[in-house]
Amino acid sequence: MGATGSAVSRVPGADEIQKETGFSSAHIYRLYDRFQVLDKDDNGVLSRRDLQSIGELAVNPLGDRIIDAFFPNGVETIDFRSFVRILAHFRPTEENRQREPNASEPLNSRNSKLKFAFQLYDQDKDGKISRAELLQVLRMMVGVEVTDEQLESIADRTIQEADLDGDGTISFEEFKKSLEKVNIEQKMSIRFLR
Amino acid sequence: MERALSILYFVVLLNATLAGASDSSKPDGHGSDSSGGHNSHDSGHGEGHSPDGLQIVSFKWHHVEAPYIIAVWILVASLAKIVFHMSHKVTNVVPESALLIFLGLLLGGVVWGADHSASFTLTPTIFFFYLLPPIVLDAGYFMPNRLFFGNLGTILMYAVIGTVWNAALTGLSLYGVFLTGIMGPLQAGLLDFLLFGSLIAAVDPVAVLAVFEEVHVNDVLFIIVFGESLLNDAVTVVLYNVFDSFVAIGGENVTGVDCVKGIVSFFVVSIGGTLIGIIFALLLSFVTRFTKHVRIIEPGFVFIISYLSYLTSEMLSLSAILAITFAGVCCQKYVNANINEQSVTTVRYTMKMLASGSETIVFMFLGISAVDPNIWTWNTAFILLTLVFISVYRVIGVVIQTWLLNRYRMVQLEIIDQVVMSYGGLRGAVAFALVALLDPEKVKERNLFVSTTIIVVYFTVIFQGLTIKPLVSWLKVKRSEHRDPLLNEKLHGRAFDHILSAIEDISGQIGHNYMRDKWAKFERRFLSKLLMRRSAQKSRDQILNVFHELNIKDAISYVAEGERRGSLAFIRSASTDQLVNVDFSTQRPSIVDASVSALLRGNPSSVCLDMQAIEEKRKSVRDKEDTLSHHVLQQYLYKPRHQTRHKYSRHAITPNTEDNKQEKEIFRRTMKKRLESFKSTKLGVNYSKKSIKNYKKDCMPRKVNPEYSDIEEAHEHEVAHQDIGISFIASATRQALAETYNGIDNPTFISDENVMVRPAIPPWLSNEDTVVPSQRARVQIPWSPNNFRRLTPLRLSTRSVDSFQMADGPVPEHPRMTLPEGTHL
């Protein structure tokens, strides 16, 4: 591997991607290489199965949720651009960089990072994490030793803790609020993508 | 407040008089308090040898003098602490360390007034042998390892390069100014100045801890400053020793070889000290594996062995601070896993007590030691310039190094952080003890150096300590909050870890966790096995305990609250401060039923209706519940690949066997779900609805409510009939899975014997291929020996045998086992 070919043109639409995501061109090359490795049938798009074949993901409790996040709105395949766009959520945030007031929110902002996490929970996309949805994720993340009663009590308490308007679900605002003390910029960033 | 002070004053006076009456040339004790000096009085108890015959009461001050004085000093220091904390107004503004120094000055004045000699000073022996080790051990033992190792590069840079930079530039600059003649005539050469620079350059762990613990800056900032102050010890020791010996042999005799030796000795001292620490940590961990039957002295091992690491390293003239730091850092995990909970608490409190006590005494004696006209040599230019140089070079050093480091760090160190780091460069007792060690014969200007060091220490601790709080709040430095993480934060935090780990896998990066990952593997495979008690037993116990307690708690709250209200909707919300009412009315009965029956069936041995236990639990249902939820999460949340350690999880040590199990469990789940979703898309069944049901299914069967699972099963059959072609096997197997959980309440209880009963593997299972999954293969749940184990017992025992065999029948070909490429199982 390694980005030996330094021609920007090798990567389709590299300029726009760079502009949109803030990745440097070196990053784009590297990610493009990775994209091609993942793209088993060389058709320029990734399918669910391409991602599913990453071994480590199968042992990641949220692996499939994350794969789902790469295929929003029921699309079957994604191109390189969408692929990078998702990954851009995990670029570290530059706190001191001034951004133009009218520019759209960058993909790696705190808000975007939180949104990404939120939608992993919110499967039916109604903007709320219901008790059932929370339970699903909980069940994915804990071992079988934990009984459902325990899990339910945890889920209930989690909801109680975050639920400010008392509707028994966690909205995105409430989600954000419950994590306001957490350094999301740091927790949801990968140094290598810097 | 005033009254308390006057009492204190009385105590002090008494003490001072007593001390004055005693042989005043005797230093503060420890160092020279061999029993030899008191032999004539040792016969003590009972028969006296006095010529007057038997005395019923005799005053034997000399018999107890040394330990008595020490005890009184400790008492005074501790009382002082109480007094300080009576008024929050004072302690909020003035750091405790500064107050203690003032107190020390006061006491020193009293002693001086009574005695006209400085009987009590902070001698290097006492400081290095008795006062410093507890403080450093405490620091190491409670070191947030993840944070520490995550920032190790940065810390090392500041500790090594920063300290050398400060030492060299301070020494050289002072020498440069000395050559201009401003300081007047001093009997000092370049080497003396460098020696002074090296001892004054190092940031002091005791002072930093004392001041920063009150300031509460954010974790990263704290760990960098604090880590630097701990790790720069090696540099300080080496520089000090090198220049000390250079001064001894004289500047003109220093050869290049000596310089090379100095550099080599740096590596030997630092790496050696670290190794000693690690070796003793391993020893300690190993010993605690076997202390189960000597619970009472269990905590003692932690202190003794750590202290031995300090002494050993001192004996070999390696960095003792590094040794004991790393002893603490490395042993904490295993020790906490090995010793029982009470011992953990004991160790924690004892350590905190010793450390805090030592710290108090150190600062008090820093004050007392200053009251001695014999050591004071005033040289305005030298003292002022030293203050200016150490501050300025500290700032410049921090800025340059941060600029370099920020190119590699994910968490950038902002300007504000740099200000705090520069400003937090406090000097303290280590510098004082080192300067007191100087030999006046060799270093002619020792007294000047001592005076200057005292001034520098006072300036940094008092002035900077006093102003750092306002500075931090004025600069709006991110503060850390000491609070338990909320359930939400914990839960989502773990989710974030998993997400990051997955994204790293997808983007194919070897993240910065790579080393940690490698280490974790090694640790899991070898160290934990060697150093931890057989944890399988332990983990099972914990599971049962939590399970047990939760069940009892459910039953109690059910009865107690139910009687009162006649409704079941209150159970969790009743005692919360949030006014949310979660509706449990539909599910509550089944849960209670489930837990009780599960308790009875699944865990006959531990069913315990001990009334006292129940009574106790009733008192703190709410607390317990919270603790338990946290505990459960702590214990059972799947660990993300890299991050086996979390900052706050001192207690939750997941036994190594969990990891494989975890992977297999998740793998099985993932595959099951993929299979589901494939099936549903294939057949056009509504995906999301189906998948949610599927999740439910994943959870539901474990609820041991027969009715409920029956419904589920019935439903399942329905579905199975709809798409009978492809999914026949799948649904049957799924049902089979469900049955496992029905038959046996908790899969943990499936014993291994069950597996042995029927080792026969269906022929199609033995065919292990790792091809890209074909469509047909995807229909089949991927089998691995592990989930096969899970499934085996139910096939023997339940109804699903039939359906399973039926399912086996119509398969024309043997589906192949599928594993995704590169899966590590």
Q: What is the mean pLDDT of residues A75-91?
A: 82
**Tens digits of residue pLDDT in B572-626:** 444 444 333 333 333 333 333 333 333 333 333 333 333 333 334 344 444 445 5
**CB-based contact B1:B7 (threshold 8 Å):** no
pLDDT, residue B396, reads: 93
Cα separation values, B581 from A168, B574, B578, Å:
8, 8, 9
Which amino acid appears at position B232 of this protein?
N
Q: What is the pLDDT of residue B662?
A: 66
Tell if the pTM clears 0.80, that is, is over it.
no
Question: What per-residue confidence (pLDDT) applies to B129?
Answer: 92
Prediction ipTM score: 0.87
Express as a percent the part of chain B with pLDDT over 70: 56
β-bridge partners, A47: A77
Cross-chain residue pair A178–B488, CB shorter than 8 Å: yes
Summarised one tens digit per residue, pLDDT across range B304-318 is: 999 999 999 999 988
For residue A107, the chain B residues in CB contact (below 8 A) are: none
Whether the Cβ atoms of residue B398 and residue B155 lie closer than 8 Å to each other: no
Q: What is the mean pLDDT of residues B132-138?
A: 91
How high is the pLDDT of residue B61? 84
Q: Give the number of A-B residue pairs with CB atoms closer than 8 Å.
A: 249
For residues B230 and B270, give the distance between their C-alpha atoms in angstroms, rounded to a whole number: 12
Q: Which H or E run includes B123?
A: none
Q: What is the 3-state secondary structure (H, E, C) of B519-566?
A: HHHHHHHHHHHHHCCCHHHHHHHHHHHHHHHHHHHHHHHHHHHHHHHC
Among left, alpha and beta (phi > 0; psi -120 to 50; other), residue B478 is: beta
Handedness of CA B592, B593, B598, B599 (dihedral sign): positive
Neighbours of B699 (CB within 10 A): 18
**Distance (Å) from the alpha carbon of A12 to chain B's nearest alpha carbon:** 18
Q: Do A55 and B503 touch (CB under 8 A)?
A: no
- Facing B702 at nearest CB: one of A34, A92, A147: A147
Which uninterrupted H or E stretch holds B773? none
> Is A58 within 8 Å of B703 when comparing Cβ atoms?
no
Give yes or no for residue B70 having a pLDDT over 60: yes
H-only helix segments in chain A: 14-21, 25-38, 48-52, 55-58, 63-70, 80-87, 110-121, 131-141, 148-162, 172-178, 184-187
Q: Averaged over B471-481, what is the pLDDT?
A: 74
Residues 6+ apart with CB under 8 A from B321: B132, B136, B205, B230, B233, B234, B273
Q: What distance separates the 2 farthest-apart alpha carbons in chain A? A: 58
Say yes or no to pLDDT of B739 above 70. no
**Which H or E element spans position B64?**
helix B61-86
Q: Hey, how many other C-beta atoms are within 10 angstroms of the C-beta on B115?
A: 17
Q: Tell whether the model's pLDDT for residue B685 goes beyond 50.
A: no
Residues near B175 by Cβ (< 8 Å), separated by ≥ 6? B190, B193, B194
Please report the pLDDT score of residue B328 as a whole number. 92
d(CA B656, CA B815): 34
Test the A interface: residue of B221, B503, B579 with most A CBs within 10 Å? B503
Helix spans in B378-428 (H)? 380-406, 415-423
Residues A171 and A66: their CA atoms lie apart, in Å, by 20
Tokens of B212: 């920063």
User: Rounded distance, CA B509 to CA A54, Å?
Assistant: 13
Q: What is the pLDDT of residues B336-363, one digit of tens each?
A: 888 887 888 889 999 999 998 898 888 8
Instruction: With H, G, I as helix, E, B as strand and everything else as coil, classify residue B139.
Output: helix
Of B553 and B42, more confident: B553
CA distance readout (Å), B366 to A99, B121, B431, B455: 52, 8, 11, 11
Q: Which of A51, A154, A188 sits opposite B629 (nearest CB)?
A: A154
Closest CA to A106 of A92, A117, A119: A92
d(CA B382, CA B370): 18
Class of residue B140 by CB neighbours under 10 A (exposed 0-12, middle 13-18, buried 19+): buried
What does the pLDDT average to over B158-176? Answer: 91
